[in-house]
């Protein structure tokens, strides 16, 4: 039964010429087919998802395949529930006279196989985004839709060849991208897929290997490009998700993540992990800012991995003397050479605490092999060894269970220990780093804490695994007694109980009540690709946190050297090569689509004075609203007036920590506003940010958050 069809076109009276049947009748027919296909596909997806969930999970690869299918179908259903006809972005008309091709957030086909929507990420859809009048890519025109509440509120036809100039009523001297910039901001990034420009599209479709730097000033669409490149890579390179590790997107702050979190699902991808640097470390949530810039610089200059390695290795020293144990069966020996051999047995990639278990098992194996009495079962020997106080005490002293936080606290509170682990530090530097053990963590500690967690491991997880193994061992022993008893008492002719001798049967019986394995840290990696926004702010130590999670060294690096609060005097290539990246490519964006020219005229001189080679983009739009300069006492009055005359949109007060935010008015610092945009920006006492590069960058960042109006309050 066909879907009840609501006319998708709801254009305002000012656009009545665009409602002519000759212009939109073909679209109406196409949208009717799309609506029917969406209904059918939604019903089919719901049925398949229900069947998959009702299917027995099984084990091994069967369970994995079932879970992957459920995840894929659930993701598809969320997209279908989220969008209706607005799954369609626009259409392009081939120059050869073929029917128009419609572009969608995902692909869609009718029951007979007719392609109704081409997925925006496919090569077939590339001309829609990349075509220009200089290079029309085989199309004569394209149409872009603006959707509001599931219906088309406007559309634009862009002629790319002489043949593309059809009815002038549909043509517009502004693309939908430029027009959309005049709309009100919201608390989340608006849907911008249909506004991608050709220079941005070329970056989005760049393959993943190596590090791609997307360099551009305010308003050039860096974040838009980064998010769309993430979605495109996940579609075009399935290896990134199918066993490859997936993708991580790292933003500068929680406000940024909240702002962009809705974009990737709208592009058909919901598997990307979103995080800030603080989120990567358990202690990051409560860490405070480092108040002493000398301490911050000194910690940033340290190599976290090398320092933690030195501190941890000090707790992995094999005994230098032989150990003699008097067991009930024979005297057992561990020579100093055997201690050293056991201590070198673990996999180099194992954490300290995980390697500790490997060493312990190696020692037990060495000692058990010394018992040659066949009547003595190995598990009895191992049980006795685990209870021997001399053996366990010696081992615990030689390879203790460590806590990552305890090691870092000891480095800062024990100057002698820090000096041994970091011999290059001077006495004055060690004294500067010294602090009491109970001092709160700072953001400058996070790279070192991250290195400690990765090298040492979670002691609580290790203890939980020990308890889990103890439960399994106890169950195995009890099951062995039960099975032996059942076999012994089996007087049946076929001796059916003998099947229980098989290890597989025993494992099945034991596994019923086996405690679950601890859930892994989803942000620990490894990831196949990492997207880093506002990357100009990262220190070398923070970069190491990310590279430890990305062995492929495949990254999208997004930033602007002119927005680095602490300066960025080197090139991107120099910065990234210093931290170990070699295959570095640079893509520049130089057109400011967001910030009005009136605002840029005020913002540009200050940043150019502080950073002469700053990449200050050229604005392509005017707001018609001059920048106002007034007194700070006028803040409330101006805001009240703006809110009364603007029923939509978001304002932001930057620089007044005492201002209480409301649902439509934010209150942020310049650093907290990075990556965000607002219709109105109220910049309070910009001189308070200080002189030098940091002050100039803070003022520049604050001013360029405005998409419509900037008011400076002195």
Which positions make up the binding site for ATP?
216-223
Taking the C-alpha atoms of residue 352 and residue 342, their distance in angstroms, rounded to an integer, is: 14
Is the Cβ–Cβ distance between 617 and 590 less than 8 Å?
yes
Radius of gyration of the chain (CA): 32
Binding-site residues sit at 216-223
CB-CB neighbours of 120 under 10 Å = 28
What residues are paired with 118 via a beta bridge? 103
In three-state secondary structure terms, 694 is helix
Alpha-carbon distances, residue 14 vs 11, 17, 19 (angstroms)? 8, 8, 11
What residues contact residue 302 under an 8 Å CB cut-off, 6+ apart?
422, 448, 541
8 Å CB contact between 557 and 535: yes
Contact between residue 331 and residue 324 where contact means Cβ atoms under 8 Å apart: yes
Q: Write out the DSSP string of 65-114.
A: HHHHHHHHHHHHHHHHHH-SGGGEEEEEEETTSPPPEEEESS-EE-TT--
Q: Are strands 628-630 and 618-619 parallel, antiparallel or unpaired?
A: unpaired
Tokens of 585: 């490519």
CB contact set of 126 (below 8 Å; sequence gap of 6+): 137, 201, 205
d(CA 208, CA 211): 8
How far is 351 from 353, CA to CA, in rounded Å?
A: 6
* Contacts of residue 631, Cβ cutoff 8 Å, sequence gap at least 6: 713, 714
Q: How far apart are CA 626 and CA 640, in angstroms?
A: 19
Residue 259 corresponds to which tokens in the numbers above? 């702002």
């Amino acid at each position: 039964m066909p879907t009840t069809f609501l006319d998708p076109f709801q254009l305002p009276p000012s656009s009545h010429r665009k409602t002519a049947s000759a212009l939109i009748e073909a679209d109406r027919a196409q949208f009717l087919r799309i609506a029917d296909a969406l209904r059918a596909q939604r019903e089919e997806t719901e049925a398949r998802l229900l069947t998959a969930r009702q299917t027995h999970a099984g084990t091994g690869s069967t369970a994995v395949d079932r879970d992957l299918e459920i995840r894929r179908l659930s993701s598809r259903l969320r997209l279908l529930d989220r969008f209706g006809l607005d799954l369609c972005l626009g259409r392009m008309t081939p120059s050869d006279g073929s029917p128009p091709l419609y572009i969608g957030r995902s692909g869609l086909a009718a029951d007979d196989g007719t392609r109704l929507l081409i997925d925006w990420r496919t090569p077939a859809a590339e001309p829609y985004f990349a075509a220009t009048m200089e290079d029309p890519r085989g199309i004569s025109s394209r149409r872009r839709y603006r959707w509001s509440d599931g219906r088309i509120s406007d559309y634009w036809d862009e002629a790319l060849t002489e043949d593309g100039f059809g009815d002038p009523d549909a043509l517009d001297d502004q693309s939908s991208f430029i027009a959309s910039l005049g709309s009100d901001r919201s608390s989340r990034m608006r849907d911008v897929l249909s506004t991608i420009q050709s220079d941005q599209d070329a970056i989005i479709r760049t393959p993943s290997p190596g590090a791609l730097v997307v360099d551009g000033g305010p308003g050039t669409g860096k974040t838009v490009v980064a998010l769309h490149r993430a979605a495109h890579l996940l579609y075009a390179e399935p290896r990134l998700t199918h066993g490859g590790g997936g993708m991580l997107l790292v933003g500068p702050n929680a406000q940024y993540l909240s702002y962009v979190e809705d974009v990737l699902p709208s592009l058909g991808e919901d598997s990307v992990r979103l995080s800030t640097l603080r989120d990567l470390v358990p202690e990051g949530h409560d860490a405070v800012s480092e108040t002493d810039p000398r301490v911050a610089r000194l910690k940033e200059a340290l190599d976290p991995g090398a320092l933690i390695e030195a501190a941890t290795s000090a707790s992995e020293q094999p005994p230098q003397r032989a150990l003699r144990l008097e067991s009930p069966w024979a005297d057992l020996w561990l020579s100093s050479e055997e201690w050293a051999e056991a201590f070198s047995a673990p996999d180099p990639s194992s954490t300290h605490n995980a390697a500790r278990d490997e060493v312990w098992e190696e020692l037990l194996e060495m000692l058990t092999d010394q018992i040659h009495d066949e009547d003595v079962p190995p598990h009895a020997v191992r049980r006795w060894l685990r209870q021997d106080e001399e053996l366990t005490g010696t081992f615990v002293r030689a390879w203790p269970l460590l806590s990552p936080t305890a090691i870092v606290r000891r480095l800062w509170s024990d100057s002698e220990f820090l000096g041994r682990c970091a011999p290059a530090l001077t006495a004055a530097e060690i004294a500067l780093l010294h602090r009491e053990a109970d001092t709160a963590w700072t953001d400058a500690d996070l790279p070192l804490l991250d290195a400690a967690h990765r090298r040492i491991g979670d002691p609580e997880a290790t203890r939980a695994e020990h308890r889990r193994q103890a439960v399994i061992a106890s169950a195995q022993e009890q099951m062995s007694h039960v099975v032996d008893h059942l076999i012994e008492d089996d007087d049946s002719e076929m001796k059916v109980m003998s099947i229980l001798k098989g290890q597989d049967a025993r494992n099945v019986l034991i596994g019923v009540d086996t405690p679950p394995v601890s859930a892994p840290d989803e942000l620990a990696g490894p990831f196949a690709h990492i997207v880093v926004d506002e990357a100009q702010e990262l220190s070398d130590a923070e970069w190491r946190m990310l590279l430890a999670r990305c062995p492929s060294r495949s990254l999208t690096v997004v930033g602007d050297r002119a927005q680095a609060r602490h300066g960025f005097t080197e090139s991107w290539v120099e910065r990234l090569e210093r931290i170990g990246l070699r295959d570095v490519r640079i893509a520049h964006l130089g057109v400011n689509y967001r910030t009005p020219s009136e605002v840029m005229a005020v913002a540009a001189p200050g940043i150019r004075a502080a950073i002469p080679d700053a990449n200050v983009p050229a604005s392509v739009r005017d707001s018609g609203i001059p920048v106002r300069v007034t007194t700070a006492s006028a803040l409330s009055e101006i805001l009240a007036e703006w809110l009364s005359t603007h029923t939509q949109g978001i304002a932001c007060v930057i620089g007044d920590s005492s201002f209480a935010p409301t649902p439509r008015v934010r209150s942020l610092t310049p650093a907290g506003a990075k990556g965000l945009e607002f219709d109105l920006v109220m910049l309070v006492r910009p001189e308070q940010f200080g002189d030098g590069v940091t002050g100039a960058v803070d003022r520049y960042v604050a001013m360029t958050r405005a998409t419509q109006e900037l008011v400076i309050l002195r």
